[in-house]
Chain A
Amino acid sequence: MNKYAELTWQGLWKNNPGLVQLLGLCPLLAVTSTLTNALGMGVATIAVMVGSNATVSLVRHWIPREIRIPIFVMIIAGFVTCVQLLFNAYAYGLYQSLGIFLPLIVTNCIIIGRAEAYASKNQLLPSIYDGFIMGVGFTLVLVVLGAIREILGQGTLFDGADLLLGPWASSLRIELIAIDQSFLFIMLPPGAFVAMGFIIALKNSLNTKVEAMIEKPVEVQKPQRVRVSKVS
């Protein structure tokens, strides 16, 4: 497997930041009440990760090891500010609906984790790709969780897509189930916890099956145990 394929496999499945590393749970649980919010959050995270990984990789030789964390945070904060201002300018509705969780991307452990674990040790292009694919992995989890919660919670998909994509997108809204009472539990953070638990369980069970298919059972020769004392 070449480097990029390995990075893709790691970011999307094997080491998925949302499902396996369980990082960034705060935005994961807070903003996934609808698919649109989840997608907006995902796009913002990808943008910040690509930017911060690229910058950290470029300046990695000049960063003193002792104060690397504050420097990473400064770089990330710079990109988060950019993304926040862009959202404010071009997707104001979404900016309002994401609220405090947009600036809070600064504290998202996935981003500082990739800067520390990958970008500070690797060259520019692989670092950019790593930031991108990890962001995509996180976004996929956000989108799946957002879709599940939106369908179960209010029976729609793409509700409020116009906030992210402009007025034309309001026709994207699909009403899957007509319900007159929304399922509030799923819309609240506890519902996100429970739904997330089910997604992780599903991923783990798929993993076991996939691994069982890939790896053939190896015949292990069990060493004969030496009986120390006789049990009677």
Chain B
Amino acid sequence: MYLSVTPSPHRLGSSNTSRMMRHVILATLPAFATLIYFFGYGVLFQVAICSITALICEAVILKIRSKNIAINLKDNTALLTGVLLGLSIPPLAPWWVGIIGTAFAIIVAKQLYGGLGFNLFNPAMIGYVLLLISFPVAMTNWMVPLELSLHSFSFIDYLSAIFTGYTSSGLTVNELRHGIDGITMATPLDTLKTDLTLGLTSGESMSKSIFGDIAGIGWQWVNVAFAIGGLALIKLKVIRWHIPCAVIGSLLFFSLLGYLLDPDSHATPIFHLLSGATMFGAFFIATDPGTAVIRAA
């Protein structure tokens, strides 16, 4: 009798990479829509630029490595890298920012390490770090929520701002960031940080218009939307609840600690939970199957 011996795993579930990645991409849709609603169509173009670059780079490298392009592209991992990176960069960043970041993410951080499953780090985040180190100015040009913005602009204006740096009426990207009072506005997190160094208490700082009611106009709803998408992923068993719980739990613990000890120089825990990229990081980045713990010990 011939007994075949194969390495583990021996029992395979019904899920596969392609389905998992498709679910993750679909789960970003609520936040995607929220970002467009509050910050305009810029993010649409960024995601498009990054996704197309990701697919092209992946195909080229697969060709060089003489692998089957169609089968490997269909696992959606390259597309997901593009989508995640497109969501992380500022909506009005110049077009080449997304291309450089995604190309580096796919070619160096993913394929040079051996491709899917062999990458040491989350490719989208490697791309993000590269961009943040290389182009600090372009990467911190965040948009003002549309309702606070001095200018109103059309769909075409976003396209032309990303590709030429100017809108059709000749405004620069920097001018687009002016608030109603004509001053360039920073993100809620940046505003708070600057105000604390200027001697304001966190309560005084957070009475400014950019903060809205809880954690910044727009930003709070973007975070809620990311959390909804993340909860859906947990329900679909694409990700496990442990990782987001650990991320959010530790953030909650330390922000609560700071807030209880010295409420004047720390923001409320709810602000920390709903500003910046907290929910995006907790549900979509920390849970990347290639680089996170995937099963309980």
Contact = CB atoms under 8 A, between A and B. Distances in A.
Nearest to A184: B134
Q: What size tier do the contact residues of chain B reach?
A: 10 to 19
Contacts of B133: 184-185, 188
Interface residues of A, number: 8
A183 interface: yes
Interface in A163-191: 181, 183-186, 188
A181 B97 CA distance: 11
B2 interface: yes
Interface in B109-157: 130, 133-138
Interface in A182-208: 183-186, 188, 194
Contacts of A224: none
Contacts of B135: 181, 183-184
A185 B134 contact: yes
Nearest to B130: A185
Contacts, number: 17
B248 interface: no
B108 interface: yes
Nearest to B138: A181
Nearest to A183: B134
B198 to A, nearest CB: 28
Nearest to A181: B135
Contacts of B137: 181
A2 interface: no
B193 to A, nearest CB: 22
Nearest to A232: B2
Contacts of A188: 133
A184 B134 CA distance: 4
Contacts of B108: 194
A145 B2 CA distance: 57
Among B108, B133, B136, B138, chain A packs the most CB atoms within 10 A around the CB of B133
Contacts of A181: 135, 137-138
Among A184, A185, A194, chain B packs the most CB atoms within 10 A around the CB of A185
Interface in B1-20: 2
Given A184-B134, A185-B133, A232-B2, 14 more contacts: A181-B135, A181-B137, A181-B138, A183-B100, A183-B134, A183-B135, A184-B133, A184-B135, A184-B136, A185-B130, A185-B134, A186-B134, A188-B133, A194-B108
Interface of B: 2, 100, 108, 130, 133-138
5 contacts: A184-B133, A184-B134, A184-B136, A185-B130, A188-B133
